[in-house]
Copies of this chain bind each other. A is one copy, B any other.
Amino acid sequence: MSRSISLAVIPGDGIGQEVVTEGLKVLASVLPQDVKLETEEFDFGAKRYHATGQTLTDDDLARLKGHDAILLGAIGDPSVPSGVLERGFLLKLRFAFDHHVNLRPSKLFPGVATPLAGSPEIDFVVVREGTEGPYTGNGGAIRTGTPQEVATEVSLNTAFGIERVVRDAYARAQARPRKKLTLVHKNNVLVHAGHLWTRIFEQVGAEFPEVTTDYLHVDAATIFLVTQPERFDVIVTDNLFGDIITDLAAAVSGGIGVAASGNINPTRDFPSMFEPVHGSAPDIAGQSKADPTATVLSVALLLRHLGYEAEAARIDAAVQADLAERAGAPARTTVAIGDALAARVSA
């Protein structure tokens, strides 16, 4: 294992800077003394877009590529037209660095509020495909702006792209105690993509005889996420379905304030990117109100990806202990939560 980490840091917009500061604080505290942490900060986001018109250039990508991993706060601002930063930055980065494993764990920690009645056991991971499906930007429109306009969106799905993410999901299921993998799709309507996903899912399954599998249509999956979330262990799904069900999963397991994610390229040909699921929340930016927990948990995913399993586990434990103490206590600032977590991981 390399004893140095070269990290690209992208605070971004809104609360991004605040939560990233705390994430880095916890990272610095958890790392053993002999691990050298080098960070380079990048100014991507709305401000740069307004100043230069740029979202992410080839040169930016070349500079990012030199790092071991990327930590991102949040990108997005109401002053930028919808889609510009999402497609020009977030999706561009995922596609450029071939982040095909979009990893989103959902765990309801003790003491954390959920909108669900009772306190269901929630501990599952969604492996969302990150480089295909309806996210490729394919499609177009004719007679734009007229009553005869026709617009298309094309979902692209390849055996190659599905197989690698499905295999990754099986391996994750295999490594977990319950060893269960659920495919979520809509193969009774989207039959072309659906048959391909289903075929690959069954085929790769032969390599993992210990993993039990099932299949749910995406609409049914949303029902089970609120009525029986305990039935899920690992879920593998398409890019768009993954987008939808992971927001729902975050909502039922404590909210997007604690939802972490990794945009992972397991080959390590490119740096992977870790970010909280929440957005830039401009309404509370600069007020030290944002919860940095999701960013801190994203740092744990980052460490695990780079091979620092013990340090990642210490962060998870610190978050769990901190969350347990929050119930009924007065709200703390972004900085106070970061300080508390940093203290816990170094203790």
Contacts and interface: CB of A to CB of B under 8 A. Distances in A.
Task: Count chain B CB atoms within 10 A of each CB in A134, A137, A227, A245 and give the residue with the most.
Answer: A134
Contact of A83 (B114, B149, B189): B189
Which of the listed residues A150, A151, A163, A187 has the most CB atoms from chain B within 10 Å of its own CB? Answer: A151
A91 B190 CA distance: 12
Interface in A135-170: 135, 137, 139-141, 143, 145-160, 163
Contacts of A156: 150, 152
Interface stretch (A36-44, A247-255, A265-273): A247-255
Contacts of A226: 115-116, 226, 248, 251-252
Number of copies: 2
Contacts of A91: 189
A220 interface: yes
Determine the interface band of chain A, counting residues with CB < 8 A from chain B. Answer: 35 or more
Interface stretch (A4-12, A53-61, A194-202): A194-202
A263 to B, nearest CB: 15
A117 interface: yes
A339 B149 CA distance: 51
Interface string A236-254: 0000100111111011100
Given A153-B154, A226-B226, 6 more contacts: A83-B189, A116-B116, A147-B160, A219-B244, A219-B247, A222-B222
